[in-house]
Structures are given as C-alpha cells and as structure tokens.
C-alpha cells in the first residue's frame, strides 16, 4: 500500500478506492483540498470579517498590519462574531432537522398524514411525562398532538421563559447553575446576559442580529449568546429530533449490522441513502422490501435491492433497522467510485456538491430530494411527507431501471466490511444496566472504569481519515474509560471492527470485566449527530441520580476529526452543560486571545466545561484521562 494513500485514510477500503481514483483521475475531496493550499491565514485564525461592505476587513495577527476593521472592530470582536455565526449555522441545521419530524408528528396526530404512523407509544408517553403533560386518560393521538405542539412552540414562542424541552429534560443542577450564571454575569457586565434558551429559532436569529455590524462587540456577551443558541440545539432542536424520531420510527434497540464499502453487492441494486433526515429514508427502507419491487429488480437481472446508509442518515437507519452502513463522510465519493451504486439519494447536510460531477463518470444517479438542498447536476425528485410512499417507490424504480446501465468493467467493490453492534439508545443502555444508572455508578466507584468519554464528529481530510477516531478510542478503552458516541466517529469504529463484544480484549481489565458482566462492547454507538442529545440526557440522568452537576461527573467529550459548523454547536453545548471537550483540528479562534481565554479558562470556572485542542491522540488521551481521574476522586470524596 503506498504511503500517500495511507496518509489520506487509515481505512484499507478507502486506500484501495483512492488508488483507483488516482489511476483513473477521479477527483476527490483530498485532491481539491490540496489545490486550496496554502489556505488563508486570516481565515484560519478567524480574523477576517465580511459582515458589511466597508469590508472585507482583516486584522494582522503579527501587529504589523491593521489592528482594527474599518468600523473599529477588534480581533476579539471579529473572532467572537465569527464563532457565533458558526454556532448559529450548526444549531440551525440540527434544529431545522428536528422541526420536520415534529410537524409530521402533529399531522399524524391530526389524521392529516396517512403515510406514517406512531411506532413507539411508550416513548411518546415518557416524552409527554417529561414535558409535564397529563398522560392519564388520553389517546395516543391526543398525546402526540400535545407533544408536537410543545416542541413546535419551543421553536416559536415569544416569551422569555426557558424552552419546555430544556425544562423537562435538563438536570436540576444545570438549570440552577445556568440561571445563577445569568445573574452573576449580568451584574458583572452591568448588562443583561441570557444563557438559558427561550426559543430554539430565536437564539439563532439573535446571533444573526447581534453579529450584524454595529451591534454586539463584546467577546463575552457574544460567546454567551453562542452558548445560548448551542443549548437551544442540544437541549432543544437536536433533542426534539431524537425524541420525535424515536416516537415515529421506534427507539433504537441493540442489534448487529455490517459496515464499510464491502456492504455494496455485486449482484444487487445498490441504493445509498446519504444525508441526515430519516423521514424519507425510513420509507425507502420500508418500500424496498415490497415483493413487487423485488420482482421488478429481478426482471432487470439483479438478485434484489440492497439499501445501505452513509453518514448520519445511515446512522439513523442502522440504529432502527438491519441496514448496513457503507461509510462515513470521506467515503461518499469512494462509494460512487466502486461503480456499483445505482442511486445515491441525498437530503441535507454534509453532502459534497462534487458528487454530481463524479457520478457522471459512472452510471450512478445522484438524486436530491430536499426543497432546501440543490445540487447542480443532480436529478431532483421532490420529497413530500404526504406522498412519501409514492416518492420512495419512484426513487427505487429509477434505481432499478438504472441497473442495466452498470458498466461491469468499472465495478470495484472492496471486500472490507465488519460486523458492528449498534442501537445503544439511552433507554437500551439503562436497560442493559438493569433499569438504573447504578451499575455504571458502582463500576466508577469501584474503579473498574475511570469514567466515560463521548466522541463525536466528522471526518476531515486535514486528518488521516479515521486515524484519530480509532486510535484515540483504543487508547481510552485501554485506560478503562468507557467510550460512547455518534456520527462519523461511530461509523469509523464500526468499520474498524471496534463495535463488538470482542473489542473488550482491547480494553483495560476493569472495563473488560464491566463489559463481560453487562454484555456490552466497551464502545457504544448512540446514533447520528442529533443523537448527541442522547448523551446529554444520559449524563443528566446520572447527575440527577447522584444529586450532582454534570460537571462533577468523570466525563470528557472529543471531536477529533471535526469539520462542520454543527460540530461546533455540539462541542459548545457539551461545554455549557459541564463537559470538557477536546478538539482537533483547531477552530478558527486563535486570532483572539480573549476568546481563547473565555473558551478554555473562563468557561471552566463558570460552566465546568471548557475546550482543549490537541493534535496527538496519546496526548489527547492523557489530558482526558487526567481530568477524568480528578473528577472521579472528587466525586468519591477521596
């Protein structure tokens, strides 16, 4: 294997596909990133401002050029504003995703949508109770309507009270801490500071307003509003997405699936579903099992229909069904390069527009479905919830009709695939523990496990694909730290064969014994990016159980290969909820010492969570382990 491809990806399937790409001049994200070098230093430091047309302005970090923008904005202001806009976009993506299932739930409850129904009544009742709804004597549809209305109201209400989802789900001490902090900071800055989200959408709009030229120039108040919007994502929009999707499609249960490009089948119609929202992809999975469609596939010479996932739509589907996952973010182009994909169906987020050109080199139909997402060069088949069955059927038929166009000479499916145990919703984890967090708490008390790390996030071609994810994860379990997580990290672990009971052999003795007793892997796949809310809810449950704050628990977060604005929002709501977070690559904030100080020091004092940046996986594990050990000691009063 040549070294160049090894530096691009740690995944042997990807290394093989990259060789094929090189040989045939198929352009990938790695090639395009190379052409971007050297990247703009101002952008990397976050000191470039385009918020008005007196600009663009930039600050010279070496003090040789301009110290202020034309309006007088300093590096601190510019960096803080840019960070806020990053968070706003990330929180918007997650929360807008959550809005759709919430609207769908309401429509189902009102009898307006007959394409979907409520699968998980227990989850619905539990959600209703959390939200303070009287459950006794109400029908499922009545409850569904009330839950949906509370969710939608959290997006649209105009009073300043906390959103209901935060009130109903966040642990007691977090609520107290944030409300105290609002008072302390307001007094200190002599200016009202709000941190608890009032409305999921409003906190995002507030950021756009505040970062307009000539509004908020204070790094601290800007960062606090960023935190508020991020909390509106973690304890709001993302949580709504997770809860309502569970109600609609079922709370995930533990089961096994296969992962990596080897799940594509030589003799079947391969349909890759890629993006984030499960509303359409649930239907595609369901409809693809209809006997008449399978017959139709056979009439075209295929042996059947093979639906596989990619990125977070893939995570959503694999959590609830026995549907394989073809890969994470940096696999999206490689899947097409296998030459065996009849259709790549996408909705929103993390989808490279480059897929349009690349699919032209093959027979692959690149099909966009969301009214929010256009991909020039793609085929657009508009998805509508009221016509879900029909749309799903049309898409599948298009893929089937495309099978005879497949060029056998271009087919290169790598054999790599691994078995993975998935489906660890909070409910399943608590069930594995016998109904209460006690066994985990005891394992921590006994010192069998030191604590828990939550790893999230993407791939980023600036980092060797999956290298940081896998090595950091292995390093942590070796040190008796249980690892949970979501997103492209989880897919990386699945592809590497780490999501198995056997992975306990890689764990330290203490963690291994816990895995044996509870019959769980040392690494737990909790779902898609919006399912980071599952981690918050789990952390909150343990905190409430012990009567402490989340920041007192031996927890650490990490996003070792992150790239999206959503990841910044996730990191920020972890920090704000009391969980320290490791990041790599460096976020674009280094141009302001003030902002760096707020995120790494002030945050630690006032929130308990904070950010650290580290490029080396062993050093990152050291930092995480050290903090986890200290927290554990303190918690036990040692």
Binding site residues, ligand CUV, CB under 6 A: 276, 311-312, 328-329, 350, 457-458, 487-488, 528-529, 564, 566-567
**Nearer residue to ligand CUV within complex by CB, 487 or 588:** 487
Cβ proximity of 565 and 89 under 8 Å: yes
**Nearer residue to ligand SF4 within complex by CB, 213 or 432:** 213
Query: Residue 67 phi/psi, 5° resolution?
Result: -100, -15
66 binding partner (options ligand SF4, ligand CUV, none; Cβ < 5 to 8 Å by kind): none
**236: DSSP letter:** I
Other residues' Cβ atoms within 10 Å of the Cβ of residue 410: 15
Q: Residue 386: how many CA atoms within 13 Å on its side-chain side?
A: 4
Least distance from ligand SF4 to the Cβ atom of residue 53, Å: 7
Instruction: List contacts with ligand SF4 (CB under 6 A).
Output: 49-52, 54-57, 69-71, 73, 78, 213
Least distance from ligand SF4 to the Cβ atom of residue 77, Å: 8
Q: How far is CA 566 from CA 292, 345, 579, in A?
A: 40, 21, 17
Cβ proximity of 310 and 347 under 8 Å: no
171 binding partner (options ligand CUV, ligand SF4, none; Cβ < 5 to 8 Å by kind): none
Least distance from ligand SF4 to the Cβ atom of residue 223, Å: 18
Q: How far is residue 55's CA from residue 45's CA, in Å, rounded to a whole number?
A: 17
276 binding partner (options ligand SF4, ligand CUV, none; Cβ < 5 to 8 Å by kind): ligand CUV
Tell me the sheet residues that pair with 271.
Answer: 307, 343
127 binding partner (options ligand SF4, ligand CUV, none; Cβ < 5 to 8 Å by kind): none
Residue 190 backbone class (left: φ over 0; alpha: ψ -120 to 50; beta: rest)? left
528 binding partner (options ligand CUV, ligand SF4, none; Cβ < 5 to 8 Å by kind): ligand CUV
Least distance from ligand CUV to the Cβ atom of residue 488, Å: 3
H or E element at residue 269: strand 269-274
Least distance from ligand CUV to the Cβ atom of residue 487, Å: 3
49 binding partner (options ligand SF4, ligand CUV, none; Cβ < 5 to 8 Å by kind): ligand SF4
52 binding partner (options ligand SF4, ligand CUV, none; Cβ < 5 to 8 Å by kind): ligand SF4
CA angle 421, 351, 250 (to 5 degrees): 40
Residue 93 backbone class (left: φ over 0; alpha: ψ -120 to 50; beta: rest)? alpha
Q: Which two tokens stand for residue 105?
A: 């739930």
Q: Mutual orientation of helices 140-156 and 238-249 as an angle, nearest 10°?
A: 160
Least distance from ligand CUV to the Cβ atom of residue 458, Å: 3
**Nearer residue to ligand SF4 within complex by CB, 1 or 54:** 54
Least distance from ligand SF4 to the Cβ atom of residue 96, Å: 26
566 binding partner (options ligand CUV, ligand SF4, none; Cβ < 5 to 8 Å by kind): ligand CUV
Which SS3 state, helix, strand or coil, does residue 370 take? coil
Residue 59 backbone class (left: φ over 0; alpha: ψ -120 to 50; beta: rest)? beta
Least distance from ligand SF4 to the Cβ atom of residue 50, Å: 6
312 binding partner (options ligand SF4, ligand CUV, none; Cβ < 5 to 8 Å by kind): ligand CUV
**Nearer residue to ligand CUV within complex by CB, 162 or 487:** 487
Closest-CA residue to 181 (of 608, 545, 538): 608
Least distance from ligand CUV to the Cβ atom of residue 456, Å: 7
């Amino acid at each position: 294997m040549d070294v160049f491809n090894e530096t691009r990806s740690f995944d042997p399937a990807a290394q093989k596909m990259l060789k094929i790409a090189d040989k045939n001049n198929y352009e990938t994200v790695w090639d395009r990133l190379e052409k971007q070098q050297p990247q703009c230093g101002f952008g990397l430091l976050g000191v470039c401002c385009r918020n008005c047309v007196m600009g663009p302005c930039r600050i010279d970090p070496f003090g040789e050029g301009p110290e202020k923008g034309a309006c007088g904005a300093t590096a601190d202001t510019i960096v803080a504003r840019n960070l806020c806009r990053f968070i706003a976009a990330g929180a918007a993506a997650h929360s807008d995703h959550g809005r759709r299932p919430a609207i769908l739930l309401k429509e189902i409850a009102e009898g307006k949508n007959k394409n979907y129904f409520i699968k998980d009544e227990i989850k619905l009742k539990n959600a209703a109770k959390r939200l303070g709804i009287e459950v006794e004597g109400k029908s499922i549809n009545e409850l569904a309507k009330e839950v949906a209305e509370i969710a939608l109201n959290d997006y649209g209400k105009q009073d300043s009270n906390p959103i209901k989802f935060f009130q109903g789900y966040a642990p007691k001490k977090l609520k107290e801490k944030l409300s105290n902090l609002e008072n302390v900071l307001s007094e200190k800055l002599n200016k009202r500071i709000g941190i608890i989200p009032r409305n999921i959408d409003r906190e995002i709009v507030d950021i756009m307003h505040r970062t307009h030229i000539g509004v908020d120039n204070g790094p601290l108040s800007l960062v606090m509003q960023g935190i508020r919007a991020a909390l509106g994502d973690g304890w709001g929009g993302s949580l709504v997405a997770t809860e309502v999707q569970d109600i609609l499609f079922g709370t995930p249960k533990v089961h096994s699936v296969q992962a990596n490009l080897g799940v594509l089948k030589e003799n079947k119609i391969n349909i890759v579903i890629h993006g984030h929202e499960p509303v359409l992809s649930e239907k595609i999975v369901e409809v693809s099992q209809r006997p008449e469609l399978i017959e139709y596939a056979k009439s075209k010479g295929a042996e059947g229909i093979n639906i596989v996932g990619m990125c977070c739509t893939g995570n959503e589907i694999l959590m609830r069904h026995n549907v394989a996952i073809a890969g994470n973010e940096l696999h999206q182009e490689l899947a097409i390069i296998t030459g065996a994909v009849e259709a790549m169906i996408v909705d929103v987020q993390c989808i490279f527009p480059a897929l349009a050109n690349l699919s032209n080199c093959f027979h692959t139909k690149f099909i966009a479905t969301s009214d929010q997402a256009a991909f020039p060069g793609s085929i657009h088949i508009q998805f509508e919830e009221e016509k879900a069955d029909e749309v799903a059927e049309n898409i599948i038929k298009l893929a089937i009709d495309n099978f005879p166009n497949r060029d056998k000479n271009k087919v290169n499916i790598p054999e790599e695939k691994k078995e993975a145990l998935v489906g660890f919703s909070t409910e399943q984890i608590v069930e594995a523990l016998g109904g209460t967090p006690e066994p985990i708490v005891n394992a921590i008390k006994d010192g069998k496990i030191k604590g828990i790390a939550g790893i999230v996030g993407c791939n980023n071609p600036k980092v060797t694909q999956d290298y940081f994810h896998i090595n950091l994860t292995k390093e942590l379990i070796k040190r008796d730290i249980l690892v949970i997580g979501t997103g492209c990290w989880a897919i990386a672990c699945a592809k590497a064969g780490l999501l198995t009971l056997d992975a306990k052999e890689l764990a330290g003795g203490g963690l291994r014994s816990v895995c044996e007793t509870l019959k769980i892997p040392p690494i737990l796949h909790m779902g898609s990016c919006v399912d980071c809310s599952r981690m918050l809810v789990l952390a909150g449950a343990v905190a409430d159980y012990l009567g402490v704050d989340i920041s007192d628990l031996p927890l650490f977060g990490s996003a070792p290969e992150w790239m999206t604005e959503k990841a910044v929002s996730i990191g920020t709501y972890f920090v704000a909820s009391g969980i320290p977070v490791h990041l790599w690559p460096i976020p674009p904030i280094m141009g302001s010492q003030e902002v760096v100080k707020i995120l790494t020091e002030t945050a630690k004092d006032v929130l308990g969570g904070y950010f650290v940046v580290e490029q080396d996986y062993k050093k990152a594990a050291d930092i995480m382990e050290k903090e986890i050990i200290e927290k554990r000691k303190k918690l036990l009063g040692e």
